[in-house]
Amino acid sequence: MKKFFQLLILAKCLLSSILCLGQTAHSHLLNGDDFYISNDYEAAQKQYLAASNIEPEFQSIFNQGNSLYQLQKFEEAAEAYQNAINSTILGSEKSKAHYNLGNVMLELKQYDKAISNYKKGLRENPRDKKMRENLMIAKHRKKEMEDQKQDQEQEQDQEQEQEQNQEDNKDQKQENQDQPSNETDPNEENSQDQSQENQDQSEQDSKQQESNGKDKLQGLSKRDIERLLEIAKKEEGKVLEKMRLRKNPNNKPDKDW
């Protein structure tokens, strides 16, 4: 009988301890809610952590993730939301945690993970409009990031190509400077050829004129040549006479009596 009473007392103590622990976890959860409502997210996070350490239930872990999100501790918040997902079997609770985890990944610009979590949340709750809207936002931002990355890669390729072209041109100039100047410019060579052709043509024309003059003289008879010489002498005499008169204008010619 004595043993029975001892066991009964021990059972009451154990039950009291369990009830006491349950109330303590719940009280921490309520305190955390009060701090969260007053925007004291640091204090709220500590209360939710204390509650989850005593009794790791979905709500205390999920709320801890919310507090960390408000503090912009996104990586720690992501870990808390993942723990909340693992702590429950209810689809509604999983959907809420996937939605918030997707939002964290959106902030971290990890768009593939954000899209994955939104899709998982929609499988649990297909009617969630906000989750569907955020899924579209995540897809749009992913496309923008990929397009921006592609543009940057194209700009880098163009810059590298320009640098390579400049380097090639520099090397080509250096090679041209190093080579002996045996080769002449085609334009200059053509000019020289043209000049030589003109000179040759001029000499040929001169020879042709000289040949024509000789041919004309050769075509005259001896008598004609003598007459031309006589005419030339007379013309020369007239010219000399005119020159003499100009030098001595007052001298009168002698009369021929």
> How many CB atoms neighbour CB 36 within 10 A?
19
What residues have CB less than 8 Å from 159, skipping those under 6 apart? none
Integer CA distances (angstroms), 149 to 1, 146, 152, in order: 81, 5, 5
pLDDT at 231: 81
Integer CA distances (angstroms), 128 to 35, 78, 90, 92, in order: 28, 21, 16, 11
Query: For the whole model, what pTM was predicted?
Result: 0.55
Q: Which residue has the higher pLDDT, 208 or 86?
A: 86
Answer whether residue 43 shows pLDDT above 90: yes
pLDDT at 208: 64
Q: Are 30 and 57 in contact (CB under 8 A)?
A: no
Mean pLDDT of 71-78: 97
pLDDT at 167: 81
Q: Work out the burial of residue 43: count CB atoms within 10 Å of its CB; fewer than 13 is exposed, 13-18 middle, 19 or more buried.
A: middle
Q: Which CATH number fits domain 89-152: 3.30.420.280, 3.40.50.300, 3.40.50.2000, 1.25.40.10?
A: 1.25.40.10
Question: pLDDT tens-digit profile of 139-178?
Answer: 999 999 999 989 888 888 888 888 888 888 887 888 777 7
Span(s) in the chain for CATH 1.25.40.10: 12-84, 89-152
Mean pLDDT of 234-250: 67
Question: pLDDT tens-digit profile of 83-137?
Answer: 999 999 999 999 999 999 999 999 999 999 999 999 999 999 999 999 999 999 9
d(CA 187, CA 181): 15
CATH number of 12-84: 1.25.40.10
Answer whether residue 228 shows pLDDT above 60: yes
Mean pLDDT for the chain? 80
Backbone angles phi, psi at 141, to 5 degrees: -65, -35
